[in-house]
Amino acid sequence: MKRTLEVTVSLDHFRKIFGYGPEDQDELASSDSKPRILLLGLRRSGKSSIQKVVFHKMSPNETLFLESTNKIVKDDISNSSFVQFQIWDFPGQIDFFDPAFDSEVLFGHCGALVFVIDAQDDYMEALGKLHMTVTRAYKVNPNIKFEVFIHKVDGLSDDHKIETQRDIHQRATDELADAGLEGLHLSFYLTSIYDHSIFEAFSKVVQKLVPQLPTLENLLNILITNSGIEKAFLFDVVSKIYVATDSSPVDMQSYELCCDMIDVVIDISCIYGLREEGDSSAYDMESSSIIKLNNSTILYLREVNKFLALVCILREDNFEKKGLIDYNFYCFRQAISEVFEVKRQMRSVSDVGSQATSAAYSNGSAVPALDRERNDNAVVV
C-alpha cells in the first residue's frame, strides 16, 4: 500500500524501553513463579527462530544462521510489566519418555505449550510427536493452553495454506478423539517469521495468559465508542505483541500498520530522542505520535506506561475532536494503572503465602473504581 507519512514525534523516552529499571531486577529474581510458555516441535521446525524474531528483534534472514538447539534454553521475558513470563525453547530431539525427564516439574508450571509444525515439510512425523507431547502434558496439567503453529507458511499458496490447516486440524483432533481426550483443546495458527503472522499468533497465545483481558477489552471498547476511534490496540512496545484490543474483529492490515508505526516511532525516537544519562524524568506522560495516511486515516499512538502503548486507527474528521480523545485517553490510562495497582497488590499478597485471592482477581472483577461519575462523551473508568 502506498502511504504518505507525516510523523509528529515527541517520544524521547522510548529509548528507555530498552533499558530495565531496578524494580525489574526484582521481577527477574522471582522468575520461577512466572508462567512458562514452552516451544516444542521437531528439529528445524523454527522454534528458536520464532523466539529470536518475536522477543529479540532478530531479522528473519538472520535465523538462517541459527544453530540447532541442544539443551533447553530459558528466556525471561520481563520487558512487559503486564505480562511476565518465561519462554523455554526446547531441542527438537527431546524425548519425554526418557526416565531422566521430569514431566511433572516441566508441565506443572506451564501456562501455554506452543507446538511448531513445519508446513513446508512432510508433517506426519510432527503430528505423531504433537499427539504424544500434548497427551503427556495434559495428564500432568490439564490447564495448559495448547497452541499449534503451522509454521513457515510463507512458502505456501493461499489455497495450500487453508488445505494444510484443515488437514492438520482434522488429523490432530481425530487422534485425540480416538484417545478419548475430547477435553483437550488445540488452537491452530498459520505463521511465518517473514510477516506479521507470528506476532499476531503470539499475541493471542499471550492474551490467554493475561487474567485481566476482559477488563482491558472492556476499557478499550469504552474508549473507542466514546472517541470515534475505529480500532485500538494495547501494545507491548518491545515485542509488538498486542496485549489486548477492542472486541471488533482484527484485520491483519490494521495490525500491520500499527506494528509499523511502533517501528517508525522507535526508530525516529532513537535518532532524535533526548539522551541524558540517568535522567529518569525522560519518562514523558505527554508523549505521542501521529501518522496521517493518504486515505484520510490517522494512526495515533500514546504511551500508557513504560511498557505499553495504545495505538489507534481513526478517520481524519473524527480526529478534529482531539481534545476529547485525549481526555478519554487520560481516563483510560488511569484505569490501566489501577489494573496494575491491583496486580501489584495481588503479587505482594501472594508473596506472603496467600493463594486465596487469585480467583477473585482472575476474572478481572477486582479492578477498583470502574464506576465513577459519567460524562456523556468521556470514558467512564
Q: Which one, 131 or 151, has the nearer CB to ligand GTP?
A: 151
Q: Which residues are at the interface with ligand GTP (CB under 6 A)?
A: 41, 43-49, 63-64, 66, 68-69, 91-92, 151-152, 154-155, 192-194
Residue 63 near which of Mg ion, ligand GTP, none (CB within 5-8 Å, type-dependent): ligand GTP
CA distances from 373 to 98, 331, 379, 380 (A): 61, 12, 10, 7
Dihedral sign for Cα 331, 334, 340, 345, please.
Answer: negative
- Mark 308-337 with x for binding to Mg ion (rule: CB under 5 A) and - for no binding: ------------------------------
Nearest-CB residue to ligand GTP? 92
Dist. CA 253–CA 215, nearest whole Å: 25
Residue 58 near which of ligand GTP, Mg ion, none (CB within 5-8 Å, type-dependent): none
Find out whether 267 and 7 touch, Cβ atoms under 8 Å.
no
- How many C-beta atoms surround the C-beta of residue 350 within 10 A? 15
Q: Does 45 bind Mg ion (CB under 5 A)?
A: no
Q: Does 51 bind Mg ion (CB under 5 A)?
A: no
Find out whether 78 and 84 touch, Cβ atoms under 8 Å.
yes
Phi-psi region of 278 (alpha: psi -120 to 50; beta: other; left: phi over 0): left
77-102 burial, b at 16+ Cβ within 10 Å, e below that, comes to bbbbbbbbbbbbbbbbebebeeeeee
Dihedral sign for Cα 228, 233, 236, 239, please.
Answer: negative
Q: Which one, 47 or 196, has the nearer CB to Mg ion?
A: 47
| C-alpha cell belonging to residue 104 | 511433572
Q: Which one, 2 or 71, has the nearer CB to Mg ion?
A: 71
Q: Which one, 47 or 333, has the nearer CB to ligand GTP?
A: 47
Residue 35 near which of ligand GTP, Mg ion, none (CB within 5-8 Å, type-dependent): none
Q: Does 164 bind Mg ion (CB under 5 A)?
A: no
Q: Does 48 bind Mg ion (CB under 5 A)?
A: yes
Nearest approach in angstroms of CB 67 to ligand GTP is 7
Q: Which residues bind Mg ion (CB under 5 A)?
A: 47-48, 69
